[in-house]
Amino acid sequence: MSYLAELKEKLENMFSPEKSYFPKEDTLSITLSNGNVRGALAYLRDTEGFRHFVMLSCVDWLEDNKFELVYIVWNPEKKVTVFVKTLIDREKAEFQSLHHMWRQVCTYEREIWEMYGINFVGHPRLEPFILEDWKGMPPMRRDFDTLHYVNEHYEWREGREESYKPRDYIGEVFDEWRKK
Partner 1 sequence: MSKVVKIFHGPQHPGITGNMSVELDLIGETIVKAKTHVGYLHRAFEKLIERRTAMQAFTIVCRICVPEPDPNEENFARAIEELTGLEVPERAKWIRVLVLELSRLAAYHLWMGGQAGSTGLYTVPQWAVGYRDYILDLFEELTGGRVYHMYIIPGGVRRDLPTGFLDKVSEVMDFIESKLPEFDRLFFDNAVFKKRAIGTAVIDPETAIERGVVGPPLRACGIASDVRRDAPYEVYDKLDFDVITETGGDVYARALVRRREMEQSIKIIRQIIKYIPDGPYRTKIPYPMNWKLKAGETYVKTESARGEFGYYMVTDGSEYIRRMNVRGPAYVHGVSLLEDMLEGAQLADVAMIMNSLGTCPPEIER
The answer to whether residue 2 forms part of the interface with partner 1 (CB under 8 A) is no
Query: Of 19, 92, 103, 165, which lies in the binding site for partner 1, with binding defined by CB under 8 A?
Result: 103
Q: How far is the CB of 139 from partner 1 (least distance, A)?
A: 6
Q: What is the DSSP letter of 156?
A: P
Q: How far is the CB of 127 from partner 1 (least distance, A)?
A: 10
- H helices present in 16-155, as ranges: 37-46, 105-116, 146-153
The answer to whether residue 24 forms part of the interface with partner 1 (CB under 8 A) is yes
The answer to whether residue 53 forms part of the interface with partner 1 (CB under 8 A) is yes
Do 80 and 27 form a contact (C-beta atoms < 8 A)?
Answer: yes
The answer to whether residue 126 forms part of the interface with partner 1 (CB under 8 A) is no
Phi and psi, residue 6, nearest 5°: -65, -45
Separation of alpha carbons 160 and 162, rounded Å: 5
The answer to whether residue 165 forms part of the interface with partner 1 (CB under 8 A) is no
Contacts of 128 (CB under 8 A, 6+ apart): 114, 134
Binding site for partner 1 (CB under 8 A): 23-24, 26-27, 29, 51-55, 57-60, 70, 72, 76, 79, 81, 83, 102-104, 106-108, 128-132, 139-140, 142, 146
